[in-house]
Structure 1
Amino acid sequence: MANTNVTWSGLDKLMEELGATAGATIEAASSAMKVTTGQVQATAKQIAPKRTGFMANNISVEPVKKTATSVTGTVNAKADYSSFVEFGTYKMSAEPFIRPAVSAAQSLFIKTTMDKLKEADTFK
């Protein structure tokens, strides 16, 4: 099983710079993380190598976790061999599908967070 956690910390610094409230910032980041992990899941399913489709069909998203200063989203590739495909072994080359999906979604997370903060009228 390959577990990929993306944690965005430092929300306290962002709140200070934007003058946004803690609650609004955490909610905006949490909402953005839900959108982003969904996008990561869709992209990973699309680019995952497919022989039978089992690995791609077993990529899931866990509920977003939030604290006072961080938001964590988790995308799981639940097939037992997912990490071998993602990172490779001494017998086979890596065929990454989670890491490229996360990289592709980073700008979506930032844009969505900013859009949510604007919607909340805490930052304009």
Structure 2
Amino acid sequence: MAAAPLSRSCARRRLQAHHRPLAPRLRPARLCAGWRLSAGYAGYAAVTMDEVEDAVNWCNAHDIQIITHANGEGASDMLIAAIGAAQAKYGARPIRPTLVHGQFLREDQIDSYQCHGVFLPA
């Protein structure tokens, strides 16, 4: 089912509400096991998985490019899962999702991003 069209101002407010990086800096980068920034600390996600899925789904439903930060493997795991679910739901869309800050990627995540058509700037 096609999503209802949005006014330009409504779309702008919606995008601004979702413009929060998953993990903006090294210290809070959402890391997986094996990284030790301090005892028991592995960073945090600045948004919930529901918020990531909502933003990715909304962009896919409205054919709007999503440009994201996902600093740390944990944040990339969240983003990859959300993009995969959105593509399964909406099909391949010509929106060219982009990851602009994706430090600390595993090789399998790079492969997943490429399979999902996510642009990874050099």
* TM band (smaller chain): under 0.3
Which of the two has greater strand per residue? Answer: 1
- If asked which structure has higher relative contact order (CA below 8 Å, sep 6+), I would say 1
**TM-score, normalised relative to structure 1:** 0.27
**TM-score, normalised relative to structure 2:** 0.28
